[in-house]
Structure 1
Amino acid sequence: MPTIACKAASVQTRHVIQPAPFADRSSGGPIRAQADGRALALELLHAQTLPALADCLHQYAREALQATATQLHWSEGFSASGPSPRQSAPVALGERTIVAVELFEQAWDQGRSASKLTPDGVELALPIIAGSGTSARAVLCLKQSTSGAELAADTLNLIAARAQELLQTSRLKQAVDRLETAERIQRALYAIADLASSDMEMPDMLSGIHEIIGDLTYAENFYIGLFDRDLRIFRFIYFADSVDPDPTLPDQAFTEDDLKNSLTLALMRHGKPLMGPSMTIRNLLGVTRDASFGPDAEDWLGIPLITSGVVCGALVVQSYDASVRYTETDRALLSYVGQHVLTAVQRKQAHAELERRVEERTRELVEQIEVRKRRERLQAAFQRIAELTSSTETIDQFYTAVHGVVGELLYAKNFFIALLEGEWIVFPYAVDERDPSARFESRRPGLSLTDHVLRTQKPLLADREQLDQLNERGVVKTVGSPSVCWLGVPLRGETGPLGVMAVQSYSPEVVYDATDQEVLTFVANHIALAIERKRAQDAIRAAKEELEKRVEERTRELAESNLQLRDQIKVRQQIEMRLKHEALHDALTGLPNRSLLLDRMSQCLNRLRRDVRRHFAVLFLDLDRFKVINDSVGHLIGDELLKEASRRLQACVREPDTVARLGGDEFAILIEDVSDIEDTRRVARRVITALNEPIRVAGKELFTSASIGIAMGESRYNAPEELLRDADVAMYRAKAKGRQRFEVFDETLHQEALNLLTLESDLRRAIARSEFEPFFQPIIDIDHDRIVGYEALLRWNHPDRGLLLPSDFLSVAEDNGSAEIIDWQLFEQAMRAVPRLAVMGRYVSVNVSARHLRDPHWHEEFFRLLELNRVKPEQVRVEVTEGALLENPEQIRHTLNQMRDRGLHALLDDFGTGYSSLSYLHQFPMDALKIDKSFVRDLKPGGSGGNVAVVRAILALAGTLGVKVIAEGIEKEEQRDALRELGCSMGQGFWYAHPQPLSRFQQAAASNG
C-alpha cells in the first residue's frame, strides 16, 4: 500500500463483522437493503465527524450487506500553500487494509471500484471520494460472503456526498486551528516584548514568560539556562519544577565539568532541538545518568538559544506525567518563541547593566557632592536664620520659622526652645508629637535635662540607656514622656548663655548621632544671635511705641525719648554691620570668605590694568594630613586646629594683605603690591615655618604642614577665578613633590596639566584596547645559574609613545580610579602565560597592591581566575610591599593566611625601603623577601660597608625565620659574586635578563629546542 496520510476507522473489537449462518444472511434481500438505506441516510445526517461516519458505515455494512469486516480509509488533502503528504505525519494511523493491496491501490490511486473472489467470499474496494495528487480522497473496503447484497449506487453517492462535507469541515477546522495558533503565538510574542520593555526585575519578567509559554504548551516544569562564554560558566536564570527536590538558584554558577552529564549541556553542544523521554535522549547522545540533575522525565523538549550563530543557552520544558506528551508542533512553536525569549532576556540584562553603571556613577557623584551639599544646606540655613529677624513680624512667627529651618536639617517633630529670664526658665516655643497641645510651663531651674545643659553649657546627646544612667546617678531627673533619644545644645549670645534648644525622639527608628549634634550646635550659635537680634528689634519696636505714647502724653520728655531711641538705633546698626561681616567672612575662623577674597582680587586686577607696576600674588594652600587629624580626633578639635592655623597665617602677612578661608582646610592669601616673585616666596616660607610648629588643642599636640601654590597677578587674567585656579594647580604640584613646600605656577605647569589630561584620555582608550601587557623577568638560582621563576612586570604599548613603564602612568591611573582595571588585565594575561612559563617547578609572580589586599573578597576572585586558566596555586606567587602590609594589617594578614592555606605563597617586595623596623615580618606568612636594589648597587666581592652589613643582616634574619631571600637589581657580575659570598642564593636583574614579552621566551624556547 502506498505511503499516504490516512485515517482508518476499523477497530477489531467493534468493526469486524463475524460471518453469520447462511439462512440468516439470505433473508436480507433487496427490500431489507432498501429499508436499511433509508436508515443509513438518517444516520449519515447525524454523523458530525469522519470516525462517526465510519461507525455508521460499519453498522450498515454488517446489517444490510452482511459484511464480515469493513474499513474506511481517508486523507484530508492539503492546500497548495501547505505541506506535501511526504512532509506531514499521518492524521491518524490505522490498521493495514483488510483487502488485497492491488484492490486498494486501484480504488485509491485510479478511483475505480475493484473486487476479488476469495475462498471466504468477496473483497471489495469502493472509491467513495476519488482524487489525485494532494486532493482529498476516501475508500471503503468490504469483506462479505458471496450471498451478501450489493451496495446501491444511490447509497454510495449519498455516502460520498456526506464524506465530502465532513472532509471539507475538517479542513476548515484545521485552518481555524492554525489561525488560532498563529494568533496565540503573536499574542505571546507581543506579551514577551512588553515584559522586556517594562520596568520589571529579571525574576518577575521570567515568571511572566513562564506563564506565557504555559499558555502555549504544557510548561509546569520549565527552566531557562544561559552560558557565559567568557567566564565559561552556566547559570539557570529561571527554574520551575514540580518534582525536582533540589531546584537551582539564579545566582548559582556551574562549570562545564559540573554539567558534563546534564541533558542541558548536551542540548547546547548538539545545537538543535531535542524531544522525547529524557532516558531515550541520553542514550541517543551517550550521556550518563546523574541523579543529582533530578528525576527522569516522561517527555522532555529542549530548545537551544542561539545568538549570532553561537549557542548561548537553552529553554526546556518537561513532563513527568506519561499522559502529557509534546508534539512536533510544540517543538516548532518553542523554537520560534525561544529566540524571542532570548532577545527579551538579553534586553533586560543590557538594561540591568546600564542601570548598574548609572547607579555606580550616580553613587560616585553623590559621594563627591555629599560634603558640598551639606555645607550648602548649612549655609542656606544660616542665611535664612539671619533673614528671620526682619522677615517675621512677631516672636511666635520667628520661633515657628526657626523650627522649620531646624526641621530641614534633622528630625525635629519634638522640638522646644527654653530661655533663661532672670531666675526663671521659660519655654516660648514647644512642639511635641505625643501631645500637640502641650505647653511647657515656666519654672525655676532644677534637675531636668534642660537644666543640665544650662549648667554645663555643653551639648547633651543621650539615648534611653544613657538617660536611665543619668537618672540613677542623680545627675538629672527626667520629666514627661520618656524619650528614646534626646539632644540639647546651649544657646549662647553676645552677653552670655541665653537658653537651650532641644529635639527628642519617641521612636527607636529615629536616633540622633554626633553629626546631628554638630549640625544643631552650629545652627544654635546662629539662632542665638538671631534671637538677640530679634529681641533688639522687638525692643526697638517697643521703644517706638513707648515714644509715640509719651509724645502724646508728655511732650516734655521728647528729648529724653529721642536719646533712648538713638541708642537703640545704634545697637541695630551694630547688629546689621555684624550681619554684613558674617556674610563676607568665615563663621568658624572669622577670616574673609571666598566671596570677599574674589572681590579684593578683582580690585587688584583692575588696579593692575590701570597701573602695570601694581603687582600682586595669590597663594593657594591646604593643610597636609588635616583629614587624618579630623577623622581621628574629631571635628571639634579639627575646628580648633583651623582657628589656630588661621591666626598663624594672619601673623605671616602685612596689614593690607588678605588671608581667606575657602572651605575645609583650604586657605588663600592675597599679597598686594609685591615688587617681585621673591617677596612672594618669602611669605610662603614664613607660612610653611609657622605651620610646621606643633599645635596644642585640648591637651593634644597636633602636627600639620602646608602645600602652597603661587600664582602671580598678570594682566592676561580676565577674572580672579582664573588666577585662583592656577594657584590651585601649582598647589597640587607641590603636594605631588612631597608636600610641605611651595610651587610657582608657570607655563610648564600649564602644559603639564594639559599633558595629564591627555594621559588620562589615553589610559581610558588603552584599557578599552587592551594595550597593557606583562613583561617577564627571570628569577635565577645564583649558585646554579638556572631559572626558578619569573616576575610579571606591567608595560604599556602606547601607540604613539612606544613602550611605557609603570612610573610613566600608574600614579595617574591611581588618581582616576583605573588602576584596578589595569591590574586585572595584567593578572589575566599573566595567568594565561603561566602554563607556558611555570614548568619544571618554576613559578610566575605578580605584584599586588594594598588596594586589592584590603578587599576581603579579592583573593576569592583571584583564585577563580586561576581556576579559569587551569593554573595551580603553587605555580603562582604574589608580591606585596612593606607599606601595603601596614595599611590594614589585620585584614591583610587574614587574606595572606587564606591564600597560603590554599597553596598560594607571598613574597615581600622592595624589602628594607619602607620601614626600619623588622619586628613585623614574622607576623605575616611570607615565603620569601626581595632585597631592594638600593642595597645591591654598591656590592663587590670581599667588600664591606653599610650595604654589606644590611644584606648580611637580612640574610641572617631570613634564615632565622625560614624565609628565602631574592636579591633585586643585579646588573654586574661583581654584584652577583658578592651575593654568592654573602650566601644569597637567588636574584634577578639586568645582568641576567631584561624584562621581555612572553613571545621572546617562546622564541628562545623554540630555538633552543
Structure 2
Amino acid sequence: MAEKTGHQYAVLFIDLDSFKAINDSLGHNVGDQFLQHVAIDLAALLQANDLLARLGGDEFAIILDDLQNVSQAIDICERIQAQLSLPLRINHYELVLGASIGITLNKNRQTDPEAVLRDADIAMYAAKRAGKRCYAIFNAEMQTQASERLTLEADLYHALSRKEFCLHYQPIFSMVDQTLVGLEALVRWNHPRRGLLFSGDFIQIAEETGLIHDLGLWVFKAACEQIQVWLKQFPELFSSNPLLMHVNLSAIQLNRPDLIEKIKAILATAQLPAGILKLELTESSILEDMSQTQYILNELTELGIQLCIDDFGTGYSALSRLHQMPISTLKIDRSFTSNMGNDSGVEELIQTIIMLAQNLGMTTVAEGIETSAQGETLLAMGCEYGQGYFWSKPVDADTIADRFLGQPSLLPAPQGTDTVWLKTRFLPPYTNDMTSI
C-alpha cells in the first residue's frame, strides 16, 4: 500500500454480516469453506492490478488501483454486494450472507497504511450501523464520531457504578375509554458532560460490548422497585385491574445463560403481585435460536411475566411461529402510525396486524400516537391500547405519580363496570399544558 502514492486509489474494508451464526450453528468447517468461496468470488470481481487480502476472521481488504473517480469504487462495492447476496450451497446447506463495506479514497491525503485501513474500518462500521448489506465512504465526520463513540463506551463502563442511569415512563392507555392501563419503562443516562441521553444514544454500544446484560438487569430491578414505591402510594392501582409495567429485553440478554435465575432473584426480593410485569422483545430476538428462545419464553411466563413483541412487522417475520409462542401482545411500530393518512398500504398493514392478534387471542398496542385522527382511526380498526405524545412523552416517576397515578378519572374502572366507547371524540385525558414535560 505504501507504494501506491502519487495517484488515486481506494481501500475497501469488507466484513461479512452475521458470519458468526454460521460457525456457531454449522461448525467451523462449513464456515471455512464459506470463506474460501467468498475469497474466490471477490477475486473474480477485481482487475489484475487490484489487491485482495484476508485480514482475519470474516474480514477482507481490497486495494483498488488507479481509480479515475469514486463511482468506480462504488460500482465494485455494488457488484460485491450483488455477488454475496447469491445463495451458496455448502454440504447441503444453502447459505446467504451480505457484507458491510467501508470505502476510503486516497489522493495523497493519507499515506500511512495503518491509518488508511483504520479509516476504511471506521466507514465499514458506519455501513453496519446503517443496517448491514450497505457500503459507506469515509469522511472526517466519521473519525470524529468514532472518537466520540470510543469516549462514550469508556464512560458507559462506569455509568452503572456511578448511578448515572434512571428510568422514565411512558403511559399506555386504553383506546376504548382512555384510562391508564400500563407504563413502559425506558432507560435514560444522566451523562456528566452530555446531559440526559436517550437509549438510542447508547444501547447499541451496550449490546456490542456486553454491558447490556448488567444494564438490562438494572432496568428490570429498578422498574420492580418503582412498582413497590407506587404500591405503597397508590395500592388501588394494582388490585382489581392492575397496571402493567412494560420492560424492554434485548436480544443479547436472551443469550445470557443465567437470565432466568437473575430474574427469579429480583422477583423474589420485590414480592410483586402476579401478572403486572410485561417484557417487550423484538421479532429478531425471538428468531435467533427458536428452540432456546421458546424455552426461555416459557420459563418467563411460568414466573407470571407477560410477553410482548415490540415493533412488530418492521423487518423480520415471526408469523410462522407466532402461534407457538406464549405472546400476549403485539406492538405496532411508530413508523406505521406516523404514516397513517399518507399511505393506504400502511393502514392495511396495521389492520392486518390487529386482525392477526385478535385471531391469536392477543392484544395490540399502537406506538407513536400524536394526533386525535390517528387515535380515532386505530380505535376504529380495533386496536385496544396506545401510547405516544398525544398523551405524554416519557417522563420521570414523580411526574407519572402527579399527572397520572394521582388522577382517579384516568384509572380503570373496577372489573364488571361498563365502559364508554368513545365513538365521536378522541381527547387527551387532561388539558393542562404539555410543554413542560
TM-score under structure 1 length normalisation:
0.37
Q: What is the aligned partner in structure 2 of residue 777 from structure 1?
A: 170
Partner of 2:296: 895
Native 8 Å contact 1:831 1:869 kept in 2: yes
Residues 283 and 317 of structure 2 are in contact (CA less than 8 Å); yes or no, is this contact kept in structure 1?
no
Aligned position for 1:956: 355
Counterpart residue type for residue 2 of structure 2:
S
CA shift at 1:756, angstroms? 1.0
Residues 831 and 674 (structure 1 numbering): CA distance in 2 closer, same or farther, change over 3 Å? same
The 2-side partners of 1:721 and 1:937 are apart by 45
- Which position in structure 2 is the counterpart of 1:741? 134
Could you tell me whether the CA contact under 8 Å between 1:852 and 1:858 is conserved in 2?
yes
Q: Which residue of 1 aligns with 2:385?
A: 986
Map 1:255-266 → 2, pairs under 5 A: none
Aligned residue in 2 for 1:879:
280
Q: CA deviation at 1:978?
A: 1.9
Distance in structure 2 (CA, Å) of the matches to 1:692 and 1:897: 35
Partner residue, 1:832: 225
Alignment of 1:658-697 (within 5 A): 658-697=51-90
1:295-350 deviation per Cα after TM superposition (whole angstroms, max 9, x unaligned): xxxxxxxxxxxxxxxxxxxxxxxxxxxxxxxxxxxxxxxxxxxxxxxxxxxxxxxx
SS at match of 1:770: coil
Is 1:803 matched up with 2:202? no
Query: 1:710·1:727 contact (CA, 8 Å) conserved in 2?
Result: yes
In 2: Cα distance, 1:675 partner to 1:731 partner: 22
Cα 1:950–1:1003 change in 2 (3 A) is same
In structure 2, C-alpha distance between the alignment counterparts of 1:694 and 1:944, rounded to whole Å: 33
Give the match for residue 415 of structure 2.
Answer: none
Q: 1:645 to 1:850 in 2, by over 3 A?
A: closer
What do the CA deviations read for 1:214-264 (whole angstroms, capped 9, x no partner)? xxxxxxxxxxxxxxxxxxxxxxxxxxxxxxxxxxxxxxxxxxxxxxxxxxx
1:819 and 2:212 matched: yes
Letter in 2 for 1:886: L
Counterpart contact for 2:100–2:132, Cα < 8 Å: yes
Residue type of the partner of 2:387?
Q
State how many pairs are aligned.
Answer: 400
CA contact (8 A) 1:971 1:989 kept: yes
2:264 corresponding residue in structure 1: 863
Match of residue 3 from structure 2: 603
Q: Which residue of 2 aligns with 1:791?
A: 184
**8 Å Cα contact 2:8-2:108 kept in structure 1:** no
Q: Give 1:987 shift.
A: 1.7
Corresponding residue number in structure 1 for 2:365: 966
Q: CA RMSD in A?
A: 3.0
Deviations 1:421-467 (A, max 9, x none): xxxxxxxxxxxxxxxxxxxxxxxxxxxxxxxxxxxxxxxxxxxxxxx
Which residue of structure 2 lines up, in the alignment, with residue 923 of structure 1?
324
CA shift for structure 1 position 619: 2.3
Contact 2:11 2:61 (8 Å CA) reproduced: yes
C-alpha distance in 2 between matches for 1:856 and 1:834 = 27
Deviation for aligned residue 1:916:
4.1
Q: Paired residue for 2:253? A: 852
1:979–1:891 Cα change, 3 Å? same
Compute the displacement of 1:810 (Å). Answer: 0.9
Q: Distance in 1 between matches of 2:164 and 2:41?
A: 50
The structure 2 residue matched to 1:906, chosen from 307, 327, 333, is 307
- d(CA) in 1 for partners of 2:293 and 2:88? 34
Q: Secondary structure at the match of 1:602?
A: coil
How far off is 1:782 after superposition? Answer: 2.2
Change (3 A) 1:893 1:978: same
| In 2: Cα distance, 1:979 partner to 1:970 partner | 9
SS in 2 for 1:969: coil
Q: Distance in 2 between matches of 1:670 and 1:633?
A: 32
Tell whether the 8 Å contact from 1:837 to 1:843 is kept in structure 2 after alignment: no
In structure 1, C-alpha distance between the alignment counterparts of 2:31 and 2:228, rounded to whole Å: 55
SS of the residue aligned with 1:603?
Answer: coil
* Maintained 8 Å contact 1:772/1:825: no
How far apart, in 2, do the equivalents of 1:765 and 1:901 lie? 34
Query: CA 1:985 to 1:641, structure 2 compared with 1: closer, same or farther past 3 Å?
Result: closer
Which amino acid in 2 is paired with 1:764? Y
Change (3 A) 1:830 1:757: same
Residues 631-642 of structure 1 aligned to structure 2 (within 5 Å): 631-642=24-35
Q: Give the counterpart letter for 1:900 in structure 2.
A: T
Runs of 4 or more off by more than 6 Å in structure 1?
A: none
1:618 aligned partner: 11
Q: Does 1:937 align with 2:330?
A: no
For the residues of structure 1 that align with 2:348 and 2:66, how far apart are their CA atoms?
57
Q: CA deviation at 1:998?
A: 0.3
Letter in 2 for 1:603: E
Indicate the SS of the match to 1:670: strand
Structure 1 position 807, deviation (Å): 1.1
1:752 aligns with 2:152: no
CA displacement at 1:775 relative to structure 2:
0.8
Q: What is the deviation of 1:864?
A: 2.2
> What amino acid is the match of 2:200?
S
- 119, 131, 155: which one aligns with 1:726: 119
Partner of 2:41: 648
Q: Is the 8 A contact 1:856 1:895 kept in 2?
A: no
Kindly tell me: are residues 804 and 647 of structure 1, through their superposed partners in 2, closer, same or farther at Cα, counting changes over 3 Å? same
Matches within 5 A, 1:184-263: none
Q: Provide the rounded CA distance (Å) in 2 between the counterparts of 1:903 and 1:917.
A: 23
Query: What amino acid maps onto 2:261 in structure 1?
Result: E
Deviation at residue 996 of structure 1 after TM alignment: 0.7
SS at match of 1:794: strand
Contact 2:212 2:250 in 1 (8 A): no
Distance 1:669 1:987, change over 3 A: closer
Q: Runs of 5+ in structure 2 lacking a partner? A: 232-236, 409-437
Q: Give me the identity figure in percent.
A: 38
Larger RCO of the pair (alpha carbons < 8 Å, separation 6+): 2
Q: Deviations over 1:96-152 (max 9, x none)?
A: xxxxxxxxxxxxxxxxxxxxxxxxxxxxxxxxxxxxxxxxxxxxxxxxxxxxxxxxx
Instruction: List per-residue Cα deviations over 1:279-299 (Å, max 9, x = no partner).
Output: xxxxxxxxxxxxxxxxxxxxx
Give me the whole-angstrom Cα distance separating, in 1, the residues matched to 2:327 and 2:93.
38
1:638–1:876 distance in 2 versus 1, CA, 3 Å: closer
Aligned residue runs from structure 1 range 351-362, under 5 A: none
> What secondary structure is seen at the aligned counterpart in 2 of 1:619?
strand
Return the alpha-carbon distance in structure 1 between the equivalents of residues 320 and 163 of structure 2: 41
Q: Aligned partners of 1:760, 1:918: CA distance in 2, in Å?
A: 36
How far off is 1:731 after superposition?
A: 2.1
1:999 alignment partner, one of 384, 398, 406? 398
Q: Distance in 2 between matches of 1:625 and 1:898?
A: 27
Higher helix proportion = 1
**Greater Rg, structure 1 or structure 2?**
1
| Contact preservation (8 Å) 2:207, 2:252 | no
Residues 990/653 of structure 1: CA separation in 2 closer, same or farther (3 Å cut) = same
CA distance in 2, matches of 1:893, 1:634: 23
Deviations 1:857-915 (A, max 9, x none): 42332232133233223232222222222223333333333333343222232222244
2:174–2:180 CA contact under 8 A, matched in 1: yes
Name the counterpart of 1:289: none
| TM-score, scaled to structure 2 | 0.81
